[in-house]
Amino acid sequence: MPRLALLLTTVIWGATFPATKAALEQISPLSFLFFRFFLGTLLILLWLVASRRRLHYDRAVLGASALTTVFLFLGYLLQTVGLQHTTASNSAFLTALYVVFVPLILMRIDRRVMMATAIAVGGLWLLIKPDTTMNIGDLMTLGCAVAFAGHIICLERFTRQVDAPSLLVWQMLAMTVLFLPAPWWEESPSGAFSLTAVLLIGLGVTGVLATLAFAVQMWAQQLVPAQQVALLFASEPAYAAWLSWYFLGETLDMQGWIGSALILLAVVIGAFGG
């Protein structure tokens, strides 16, 4: 059940790509991230009040929240800034390499995980078709993949040691505060913040649905090993490609369909097999 829940949340993560891409034609990247996390924080706080859950703020929870937020913030920051210096295809491929970094960092390398990881990376290459040259943007995006791997690993540990809902709340609050200066720092034009249908849909998908997906991830990582979570999340580019093809009219050739099929095969082998 938790693996299936994670696989379904990955559909939402995939939907954030076309939703964000459309919204970024109006608003600058870091400002969008601020509003996304601000909306998500409001949603989580409303749930906390409605459910009458107690918010923990002991040293263990705050320490765990601080460390996981460092990785989460670095992941989003490096990915967003790196995207200004590299192609979208390189960004998508390099970000998804956390599927490799998680088992390597944890030293959980068995035959099935290695086979699934190799199939997933091959599928990602066919689907995304990244350039073979490297630049500063690629290096930053590679750092983003390491940061997201660190976040997945932290969640495996801390969701089993401290109160997971409190961990989620403090992370969302911290991300909102960290991105708070973005609208002034980027000096966006006033029209960038107009509540157009595109911006509202983008914020709805990323600020509401993705926050709910994040909450599901926090719950599921109490039960699912980190290396399997990384493999499940490797299906995100496949969902993003399918949704972009369906809603934005982006092309997806036979090589892309084969690549996405290989990614899903890797998920079945690595996360559901054995």
The residue among 1, 79, 66, 65 whose CA lies nearest residue 33 is 79
Classified as helix, coil or strand, 216 is: helix
Mean pLDDT value across residues 39-51: 91
Spatial distance between the Cα atoms of 185 and 182, rounded to a whole number of angstroms: 5
- Distances from the Cα of 15 to the Cα of 240, 241, 264, angstroms: 6, 9, 17
Three-state secondary structure along 2-43?
HHHHHHHHHHHHHHHHHHHHHHCCCCCHHHHHHHHHHHHHHH
Domain boundaries, the chain: 2-272
CB-CB contact of 206 with 19 (8 Å): yes
Strand, coil or helix: 180: coil
In percent, the amount of the chain with pLDDT more than 70 equals 92
**Which residues, 6 or more positions from 261, have their beta carbon under 8 angstroms from its beta carbon?**
123
User: Whole-model pTM?
Assistant: 0.83
Q: CA 95 to CA 268: how far, in whole Å? A: 21
Q: What is the tens place of the pLDDT at every residue in 214-259? A: 888 888 888 888 888 887 887 777 777 777 677 767 677 788 788 8
pLDDT digits (tens, 9 = 90+) for 141-191: 889 989 999 999 999 999 999 998 899 999 999 999 999 988 777 776 666
Identify the weakest region by mean pLDDT among 104-113, 145-154, 220-229, 262-271: 262-271
How far does CA 113 lie from the centroid of its chain? 21
The predicted pLDDT at position 168 comes to 92
Tell me the pLDDT tens digit for each residue of 78-99: 887 787 777 666 777 778 888 8
